[in-house]
Structure 1
Amino acid sequence: MTTAMILTVSDTRNLDNDKSGKFIAQRLLAHDVQVADRQVVIDDVVDIQSQFLQFEQQAPDIIITNGGTGIALRDVTIAAITPLLTTSIPGFGESFREISFKEVGTRALASKAIAGFNHRNQLCYCLPGSTNACQTAMDQLILPEFAHLLFERRKDSHH
């Protein structure tokens, strides 16, 4: 069974009022992906990296972050996660911004959403904090393709 962990990055949200984290979890569960853990950290590079690496050590198949992907000074998720990814999947961010542009117009240009694989070949996505944006990413990009991406990444490895 595919397992996932969800990291919400926010100065204001907690596990109880984290609508986007809950939404992502529900969509994954509906697609037979077990959500092994869900945490919330503040917009801080060290806090984000620390929790992300703790997730990585627990060996989920997928890690999804949400929040902190814009251009505000407090938006540090991309700066925190990018160094932890060994392979990027540029098409994810490109497609996400293209789809978002059709939904919200030029505001989509400020999104730095990314996807890639980390050192342990776990599939990682960094999504915006907006629940609508998370729905777009989950339904149109992540859920249709994650199984194929994991298969392609792992087919030559020995574990």
Structure 2
Amino acid sequence: MLVLARFALIVTSDSVYNGIKKDEITPIVEKMLKEYNQELVFKTIIKNNKEDLINALNNSLNISDIILVTGGTGISPKDISIDVVKSIAQKELPGFGEIHRMKSFNDVGYRVVLSRASAFIINKNLVAVSPGNPSAVKISLEILISIANHAVEQLSGKPHDK
């Protein structure tokens, strides 16, 4: 049985922030978390810049267990989310990105190698950085929801099950 994990969502997108493009991510996240009895305690849309991302992370760290950052995982100069999160993380969880790319291959083919999706530990939070398209966000949430219970227990200091 899944425990109720407290999720935060940080959507990084200049075009969504400026109202040029519709936010497709938040409704997907809200729906999936509700289906799996998980709680969304924080959500925000920010521009693609270091200062806004650091502020959003600081605002969500103490009130959530798992933070999903969407956007900024590619190789363009504006794709900085991975770099910002990695710079303040204590640990990296490369398995998240490996599984994410594996599950994404059928949709995007070899372009998947251009994704830097990954997950990190900041304080006692699991922070995943996902590509900002709807199908990638769904994959990210499938992974995060499936590991939420174990991750929250481990990050709170509970011993491993034998």
What TM-score do you get using the length of structure 2 for normalisation? 0.87
Whether 2:117 is the aligned partner of 1:113: answer yes
* In structure 2, C-alpha distance between the alignment counterparts of 1:28 and 1:61, rounded to whole Å: 13
* Contact 1:59/1:122 (8 A) holds in 2: no
| Equivalent residues, number | 154
Whether 2:10 is the aligned partner of 1:7: answer yes
Letter in 1 for 2:37: D
Of 130, 134, 137, which aligns to 2:137? 134
* Residues 40-51 of structure 1: pairs in structure 2 closer than 5 A: 40-51=45-56
Of 103, 108, 119, which aligns to 1:99? 103
Whether 2:142 is the aligned partner of 1:146: answer no
1:23 is matched with 28
Whether 2:39 is the aligned partner of 1:34: answer yes
Letter in 2 for 1:21: T
* In structure 1, C-alpha distance between the alignment counterparts of 2:53 and 2:78, rounded to whole Å: 12
| Structure 1: runs of 5 or more not aligned | none
| Structure 2: runs of 5 or more not aligned | none
Shift of residue 42, structure 1, vs aligned partner: 0.5
Letter in 2 for 1:10: S
Percent identity of paired positions between Structure 1 and Structure 2:
22
What TM-score do you get using the length of structure 1 for normalisation? 0.88
Whether 2:84 is the aligned partner of 1:80: answer yes
* In structure 1, C-alpha distance between the alignment counterparts of 2:114 and 2:91, rounded to whole Å: 22
Shift of residue 156, structure 1, vs aligned partner: 4.0
Shift of residue 103, structure 1, vs aligned partner: 2.5
Shift of residue 104, structure 1, vs aligned partner: 1.3
